[in-house]
A and B are shown apart, each in its own frame.
Chain A
Amino acid sequence: MALSISQIFVERRRRLRLPRFRRRSLPLILGCVIVGAFVLAALTIDLWTPYDPVALAGRRLQPPSLDHWLGTDALGRTLYGTRYSLPIAALVLSVGVTIGVLFGAVAGFLGGAVDAAIMRLADITLSFPPILLAMAIAASLGPGLFHTAIALIIVWWPIYARLMRAQVLNVKVLEHVDAAVTSGTPPLRILVKHIVPLCWAPILVNASIDVGQVVLLASGLSFIGLGAQPPTPEWGQMIAEGAASFYQWWIALGPGLAILLISLAFNFLGDSVNDLFDPRSRRPA
């Protein structure tokens, strides 16, 4: 049987998808490259730096040189921070998004008292400035990277609960959901099969932008001494040390630049992901 015209268009669009994707997304490439470089560095740093980050090296407080590109700090550590900052962000977001999506989906789907209870809880959490709430929680749990992560998760989930609830409210009135109801699908299955899969786009977009935010906030907590403790080479904590020794400017510069770059890269990524999911916001090439 010959292909109908609409099928031909579908086929053509399939073939065209890749080139269009390339043309439109310089920020995507930039974001990917920067993030990729950081991840690569974190994974392979042992292979190409001859120095142990937490060992007390002989050459302390050296300005940048050929041997030590970013200089050495009081404890002679080089830039190992990626190994802490990125996993923290990944942990916070994966757990935070999971909790948020679960609560948001249930709230939006069931409505009524359950919805009200979950959303008021989220509202209460969101009514605090995030940095203050995170500080309070981290301080009461005591310093440490893991506690920082818990604090950030508590601060982060309501955003996703709200997003997810809004999406579910939009999707659950679509006709295919009615069709599923009329074919006798049990409620939980309707939520999982026919509603949630249509809700992911804004969640993913938001999450990819938020990675940078989480890195920033986690470093912030470490900077004020509530997160990672020395000698962990976490960026915020390293900047805090650098701030004390003003004339060794390179100590704060390295991790500072790293935070800047990684936040920027994830913002680029998030924007591009948004463009891919939402054709209406796509800028002309």
Chain B
Amino acid sequence: MTPAAGNLLEIRGLRIAIPSREGELVAVSGLDLEVGRGDILGIVGESGSGKSLSMLAVMGLLPRGMQVSGSIRFAGEELIGRSPRQMRTVRGRRIAMIFQDPMTALNPVLTIGAQLAEALKIHQPALSRRERRRKAIELLELVAIPMPERRFEQYPQELSGGMRQRIVIAIAMANDPELLIADEPTTALDVTIQAQIVEILQRLQREKGLSIILITHDLGLVASLADRVSILYAGRVMERGAVEAIFHRSRHPYTAGLLAAIPSIEGGTGRLVAIDGVQPSLAERGPACPFHPRCRFALPICAEREPPFTWSDDRSMTACHRASDAPFTGALDAG
């Protein structure tokens, strides 16, 4: 594990709870993660695993009523408990976010240029009109948009999906943030465009030293882009560490199941394999390992106690009572 001092973002024991009539529902529990400067961290998990909520917590944008505890340190400063006004100086300036669907993430009544200028205006109000325009054009060039002068005057609906996602990235990069949170940045795009977006993100990391958190369902995307990965399930980290370690030497049955579920091109046309069962709902989450009802390797202890983290190698750790029995081959059968 990298020394704590070098980390840009460090989350320790993050817990997000939603009060309800039946007692509080714990959406995220005991979440640890860290992103080094210039690192790309992949966060993989099903819908409802808590990955988006955790990122909203980082941005300070959790819906009112949710209770957050734990620690989120960004560049050494604690973010939890900051006032909305203080958070606004972080959002967009030091931490930027891009969304899944570029079709809806842009304001339909403003030109591309106006939206870029808007992002600059908020955090760098001292810039003159001309400087803003020059910077905006530079940003468009940064994300490899041809004919930036022309795009400047166009409205979002005049551009293709891939083009719009690049604009969204350009807007996110407007104020040279240190961390970019990309929430499924390629899910809504077709495969050839996905490759272009991946390339742009890689270039930004390389040239600008940008740290990226990549939230995704797409294990292939994580493999091609991320250095490290966290596997989330039902609000907890199942396994985390270096991508190659997790992908090649997984010591958790859930990760093994996810990897086994990727259809391969040699796999023929049989049924797709899947992990049986569904993720426990918020109300069903107890102190045990959340994955045990679906786990083919579960022992009686799995239903009783939450598994502790054990080191897999010097950079990776796993939360499984049976981690020492890995590898979990045959985590799934073709049904």
| Partner-binding segment picked from A118-126, A182-190, A238-246 | A182-190
Chain A min CB distance to B165 (Å): 12
CB of B90 within 8 A of chain A?
A: yes
Let me know if A184 and B88 touch, CB within 8 A.
yes
Q: Which residues of B lie under 8 Å from residue A281 when comparing CB positions?
A: none
In the complex, A7 Cα to B154 Cα: how many Å?
11
Q: Which residues of A lie under 8 Å from residue B123 when comparing CB positions?
A: 184
Report which residue of B87, B88, B106, B123 has the largest number of chain A beta carbons within 10 angstroms of its beta carbon.
B88
Chain B min CB distance to A105 (Å): 15
Partner of A183, one of B92, B110, B160: B92
- CB 8 Å contact bits of A167-189 with B (1 = contact, 0 = none): 00000001110111111111001
Let me know if A197 and B109 touch, CB within 8 A.
yes
Let me know if B147 and A183 touch, CB within 8 A.
no
Let me know if A183 and B96 touch, CB within 8 A.
yes
Let me know if A189 and B158 touch, CB within 8 A.
no
Let me know if A183 and B91 touch, CB within 8 A.
yes
Q: Which residues of A lie under 8 Å from residue B174 when comparing CB positions?
A: 183
Let me know if B110 and A193 touch, CB within 8 A.
yes
In the complex, A182 Cα to B172 Cα: how many Å?
9
Let me know if B122 and A189 touch, CB within 8 A.
yes
Partner of B105, one of A179, A186, A189: A179
Let me know if A182 and B61 touch, CB within 8 A.
yes
Let me know if B158 and A7 touch, CB within 8 A.
yes
Q: Which residues of B lie under 8 Å from residue A184 when comparing CB positions?
A: 87-93, 122-123
CB of B146 within 8 A of chain A?
A: yes
Within 8 A of A (CB), among B98-114: 99, 101, 104-110
Report which residue of A1, A176, A181 has the largest number of chain B beta carbons within 10 angstroms of its beta carbon.
A176
Let me know if A193 and B118 touch, CB within 8 A.
yes
CB of A198 within 8 A of chain B?
A: yes
Q: A10-B158, A182-B61, A183-B119 are in contact. Are A176 and B171 (CB under 8 A)?
A: no
Q: Which residues of B lie under 8 Å from residue A175 when comparing CB positions?
A: 99, 101, 104-105
In the complex, A180 Cα to B121 Cα: how many Å?
12
In the complex, A4 Cα to B87 Cα: how many Å?
41
CB of B197 within 8 A of chain A?
A: no
Partner of B122, one of A6, A10, A174, A185: A185
Let me know if B147 and A1 touch, CB within 8 A.
yes
Chain B min CB distance to A110 (Å): 13
CB of B168 within 8 A of chain A?
A: yes
Q: Which residues of A lie under 8 Å from residue B90 when comparing CB positions?
A: 184
Chain A min CB distance to B203 (Å): 21
Q: A183-B172, A184-B88 are in contact. Are A176 and B122 (CB under 8 A)?
A: no
Which residue from chain B places its CB closest to the CB of A196 in the assembled complex?
Answer: B109
CB of A162 within 8 A of chain B?
A: no
CB of B59 within 8 A of chain A?
A: yes
In the complex, A238 Cα to B172 Cα: how many Å?
63
In the complex, A176 Cα to B88 Cα: how many Å?
17
Chain A min CB distance to B259 (Å): 31
Partner of A176, one of B96, B97, B106, B147: B106
In the complex, A6 Cα to B162 Cα: how many Å?
13
Q: Which residues of A lie under 8 Å from residue B91 when comparing CB positions?
A: 181-184
Which residue from chain B places its CB closest to the CB of A179 in the assembled complex?
Answer: B105
Let me know if A4 and B106 touch, CB within 8 A.
no
Let me know if A186 and B88 touch, CB within 8 A.
yes
CB of A194 within 8 A of chain B?
A: yes
Let me know if A1 and B92 touch, CB within 8 A.
no
Let me know if A6 and B168 touch, CB within 8 A.
no
Which residue from chain A places its CB closest to the CB of B59 in the assembled complex?
Answer: A182
In the complex, A236 Cα to B8 Cα: how many Å?
73
In the complex, A4 Cα to B97 Cα: how many Å?
29
In the complex, A24 Cα to B108 Cα: how many Å?
25
Chain B min CB distance to A204 (Å): 14
Chain B min CB distance to A164 (Å): 16
Let me know if A180 and B96 touch, CB within 8 A.
no
Let me know if A1 and B146 touch, CB within 8 A.
yes
In the complex, A189 Cα to B87 Cα: how many Å?
16
Let me know if A180 and B61 touch, CB within 8 A.
no
Q: Which residues of B lie under 8 Å from residue A179 when comparing CB positions?
A: 97, 99, 105-106, 168, 171
Q: A7-B158, A182-B96 are in contact. Are A194 and B107 (CB under 8 A)?
A: yes
Let me know if A180 and B107 touch, CB within 8 A.
yes
Which residue from chain B places its CB closest to the CB of A193 in the assembled complex?
Answer: B118
In the complex, A10 Cα to B119 Cα: how many Å?
27
Which residue from chain A places its CB closest to the CB of B181 in the assembled complex?
Answer: A182
Chain B min CB distance to A278 (Å): 15
Which residue from chain A places its CB closest to the CB of B118 in the assembled complex?
Answer: A193
Which residue from chain A places its CB closest to the CB of B159 in the assembled complex?
Answer: A6
Let me know if B104 and A176 touch, CB within 8 A.
yes
Chain A min CB distance to B134 (Å): 20
- CB 8 Å contact bits of A143-167 with B (1 = contact, 0 = none): 0000000000000000000000000
Partner of B108, one of A1, A7, A178, A198: A198
In the complex, A59 Cα to B69 Cα: how many Å?
89
Partner of B160, one of A6, A174, A194: A6
16 further A-B contacts with Cβ under 8 Å, apart from A181-B91, A198-B109, are A1-B146, A1-B147, A10-B158, A174-B104, A179-B105, A182-B91, A182-B97, A183-B97, A184-B91, A185-B88, A186-B88, A193-B107, A193-B118, A194-B107, A198-B107, A198-B108
Chain B residues within CB distance 8 Å of chain A:
59, 61, 87-93, 96-97, 99, 101, 104-110, 118-119, 122-123, 146-147, 158, 160, 168, 171-172, 174
7 A-B pairs with least C-beta separation: A183-B92, A184-B92, A184-B91, A175-B104, A182-B97, A184-B88, A197-B109
Q: Provide a sorted-by-A list of 7 A–B residue pairs whose CB atoms are within 8 angstroms.
A: A175-B104, A175-B105, A179-B99, A179-B168, A185-B88, A197-B109, A198-B108
